[in-house]
Amino acid sequence: MPATAATPPDPALAAWIATLGDRLLAVAPLAGDVSPRRYARLELAGGGTAILASYPEEVRAALPRFAATTELLAAGGVRVPRVVALAAEPGWMLLEDLGTATLADWRRRPRRELARWFAEGRAVAGRIAALPAAAIEALNPPLDRELLERELEQTWRLHLEPEGLVGDAGLARELERALATLCASLAAEAAVPCHRDFMARNLMPLPAEPSLAVLDHQDLRLGPPAYDLASLLNDTLFPSPELEEELVARALPGEGGRVSYHRAAAQRTLKAVGTYVSFARRGAPRHLPLVAPTLARALGHLARTPEGTPLAPRLAPLWSRVPPAA
């Protein structure tokens, strides 16, 4: 996350840092999205830096969840920023500073370098899936059929229907049935622990270790086995088709695994379209240029599912001619 201009240290924050045995020199806010959470890089007199995550009251319940998922992931061999300290009352959490460049910032690197991190991402997703399911189940509601469908309902309501992308009444009914079948099929699979937002912007290459650190993991929950891999390969940074096929074959062998992957990727990318439009309506329009290419990617995956194959040729003329949402 890039930093903005430094601000004078808050006296209460400075006092808390003093109780930790250090002195606060400067605070540089980090650009975020539409979440109420705020992040800043702290410069400390001891010579190091740390990341401050501030949780306002309306999202403060996520603070202990982040601490719990940090502990679970670290115990499972997943590299995450270490929690240095936590102050529940003001909603502060001090995290290890792992740097500024996420995997999304590597988009101009040579393909061989990216291939290494995609492969590492697949391995990390496997380690997350192997976490104790009972511990994950206690943290967050599952990514079940109801939630998968609700995410797509937002996309339908905010973008597909207003932009005329559902076609006539007959095509709209067929698309609704296909998406319901897709979500039901994903939910019918034995659920495994999922990061829920396992994308390039939440993954940080650490070449010196070497490992891939996982960020923003407080939403860890049970979900479809293909979901995290679908997130990794279909958001912000994309592998070559050959590498995508190789990674899917390794993680989800067999034709059934491939179909599950395309279902999860179709749901994930369609959900992302609704998220981008929702962000724009809440005053954060910077993701709008991603709407059209993400919709195209969703259609490509939908076309490779049994329920979507008959619909894709009819949806293609509609979904390809509509510009990004305004």
Share of the chain above pLDDT 90, in %: 84
Prior bond of 210 cis (ω within 30°): yes
Pairing of strands 38-44, 49-54: antiparallel
Whose tokens are 């195209």? That residue is: 296
Give just the sign of the alpha carbon dihedral 31, 235, 284, 196: negative
Does residue 4 surpass a pLDDT of 70? no
- pLDDT mean over 246-264: 97
Does residue 36 surpass a pLDDT of 90? no
- pLDDT mean over 242-270: 97
C-alpha dist (Å) from residue 33 to 37, 38, 64, 177, 285: 9, 9, 21, 33, 10
Using one digit for the tens of pLDDT, what is the confidence trace for 70-129?
A: 999 999 999 999 999 999 999 999 999 999 899 999 888 888 889 999 999 999 999 999
State the amino acid at position 52 in one-letter form: L
Report helix angle 241-251 to 111-129, nearest 10.
Answer: 20
- pLDDT mean over 204-217: 94
pLDDT at 322: 57
- pLDDT mean over 135-155: 97
Q: Are 282 and 274 in contact (CB under 8 A)?
A: no
CA distance linking residue 69 with residue 4, whole number of Å: 28
- pLDDT mean over 251-271: 97
State the amino acid at position 287 in one-letter form: H
Does residue 324 surpass a pLDDT of 70? no
Q: Are 85 and 52 in contact (CB under 8 A)?
A: no
pLDDT at 323: 60
User: Which of the listed ranges 34-43, 246-255, 284-293 does the model predict with the highest average pLDDT?
Assistant: 246-255
Using one digit for the tens of pLDDT, what is the confidence trace for 129-143?
A: 999 999 999 999 999
Residue 1's pLDDT band, with cuts at 50, 70 and 90, is very low
Give just the sign of the alpha carbon dihedral 244, 275, 136, 199: positive
> Where on the phi/psi map is residue 47: left (φ > 0), alpha (ψ -120 to 50), or beta?
left
Give just the sign of the alpha carbon dihedral 100, 102, 107, 111: positive
Does residue 8 surpass a pLDDT of 80? no
pLDDT at 296: 95
CA distance linking residue 152 with residue 182, whole number of Å: 11
- pLDDT mean over 213-234: 97
Q: Mean pLDDT across the chain, nearest whole number?
A: 93
Does residue 65 surpass a pLDDT of 70? yes
**More confident of the two residues 203 and 4:** 203
Using one digit for the tens of pLDDT, what is the confidence trace for 295-310?
A: 999 999 999 999 999 9
pLDDT at 33: 65
Does residue 32 surpass a pLDDT of 90? no
